[in-house]
Structure formats: C-alpha cells, structure tokens
Amino acid sequence: MNKIALLFVALAVSISAPAYAHDIDLDGDTAPNAMGGQMCTGPHMVVTPSRPQTPQDVERARDVIDTLRRTLTRYHDSRVALSEGYQIFLPTVPQEVYHFSDYSAAQQEYIGHSDLTRPGSILYVKNPSGEYVLVGAMYSAPADYTPDQLDAIIPLSVAHWHAHTNICLPNGITLDDVLRGEMCASNLDIPGMLPASSPSAPAINQRLGFLADGRFGFTGKIADAAECEAAGGHLLKQAFGWMVHVYPFSDDLKVAYGMSVPKPPPN
C-alpha cells in the first residue's frame, strides 16, 4: 500500500446498520451504530493493556497535553486546518467524530517518525448547528511497534493505543479506496449496496456506498474470513497501524486519554 495513503482515520466511518433502507435515518445527524462515541474492544478492535502508572508517566502525559493544547490553538476554526493541508475523511458520512487528516504527517507517523506538534489527524465533532468543534487529535504508529515503543510515545499507563482488525471490504474495494473516500456509490454491483427495488436505496447508496447494509467495514457485522468471502469480500486482519486519541482540553487524564469522545459544548 502507498504509505501516504496509510491515513488511519480511526475510521469512525463504518456503518453497521441492518441491511434495509428503512433502518437508516437519512435525516439524522449520526449514522446508526457508527464508531465514535465510545470505542470498545471486540472482533474489530484490539487495545493495549494498561501498565502500572508512575509519576514519570503522569508527567509525560501532561507534557503531551500541554504540547497539544499549544499546537491545536490555531485549529479551533476548522477552516484553518483545511487551509493547512488537513482533509476531512468522508465528510458526507455521518460520524460521531470527524478526522481532519494530514497525509504527509500520517506518512511520517507510520514510518516511526512521531512529532507531537504535528498530529496526523485533528479530531472534531459537530455541534447541534452542524459546525465543527475541535476536541482533540490522533497520533499513529507502525503496525509492528512493540508495547515498549508505543509507551515511549504516550504511556500505556494513561492511554490505550488501539488497532482495527478483521475488516471485511467488498471485492473491488481496497483500503486505499476507502481512504480516498471512494465508497462506489454509483456501482450497484458492489456488495453492500442496497437493492434498487427499495425506494430509499438511491439516496442511501449515494450517501453511504457499500457501507449501506452494515455487513462491511470497520464496525460491520462480518469479522470472519470465510463469511467475508461468502459475502463477496476480502478480510483485512489489521488495517493501518496503532492509533491513540488525545482530548487535551480536560485536566482529567482519564478524560484526556479516554476511549469516549467528548461532547461539544452547547451553543
């Protein structure tokens, strides 16, 4: 795979909704069962185990928060992020958290060159008015990094690095396609598209592409190689490398390095 395309994007992207149009609310603000509000372990995700916490870990964790607060100050206006080369991953797909990703910075992270002042992704949520609200950032690391190597970036005693596993994609769709936002919305022959006989299918297919029926993707129902092949897909044992979210606007380390995405403040 082209390393620049190893964008990761925590891929809050995949909709694991039931397979028929009436189960998807096209007018809603979020996709049913989309990843984002609470990440958890399961067939599609593994996380690093916690380590005993030391005062040195706490100091390092707070240094990361301080660095990230300074770094992100300019990006409270999401338009600044866009002007500096960050791109919204799947902006038309409703998500709990949106990744504004810098491919160049991501490439550096995935070859082991971590720079806390230039995260591969900046994280936003949408407020009730539909505006992007800054909540944090995501760092990534190579898939073959050991726990000790991950710990050296952000301590495992305060944060859970995670990796996406057992991802079923339809045949004809690659991980590069997903990263480019190519959902094959106009190709009804791709597995995962809703049948044209459903009156709501065209709108749902156009919006969600092969994610429409919920079997495929990062939170899809399929996590087994044989089942994936039978459905017309191919299974990725691990997609991307290791990732960690940081929400630096809280002084509580359990929130700043937690698995839940903070909600935006009211208008």
Q: What is the mean pLDDT of the chain?
A: 81
**Between residues 45 and 55, which one has the greater pLDDT?**
55
Q: What pLDDT score does 122 carry? A: 97
Neighbours of 37 (CB within 10 A): 15
pLDDT digits (tens, 9 = 90+) for 202-233: 788 777 778 887 888 888 899 999 999 999 99
Q: What pLDDT score does 35 carry? A: 39
Residue 132 forms beta bridges with which residues? 126
Q: Which two tokens stand for residue 20?
A: 């028929």
Q: What angle do CA 122, 116, 219 make, to 5 degrees?
A: 45
28: confidence class by pLDDT, cuts 50, 70, 90: very low
Q: What pLDDT score does 103 carry? A: 84
Q: What pLDDT score does 266 carry? A: 60
pLDDT digits (tens, 9 = 90+) for 84-140: 999 998 887 788 999 999 988 988 999 999 899 999 999 999 998 899 999 999 999
48: confidence class by pLDDT, cuts 50, 70, 90: very high
**Between residues 19 and 213, which one has the greater pLDDT?**
213
Predicted confidence (pLDDT) at residue 18 exceeds the cutoff of 80: no
Q: What pLDDT score does 14 carry? A: 34
Q: What pLDDT score does 207 carry? A: 76
The tokens 């979210």 sit on which residue? 245
Q: Which residues contact 142 (CB under 8 A, 6 or more apart)?
A: 110, 111, 112, 241, 242
How far apart are alpha carbons 123 and 138 in whole angstroms? 7
Whole-number percent of the chain with pLDDT over 70: 81
Q: What pLDDT score does 128 carry? A: 87
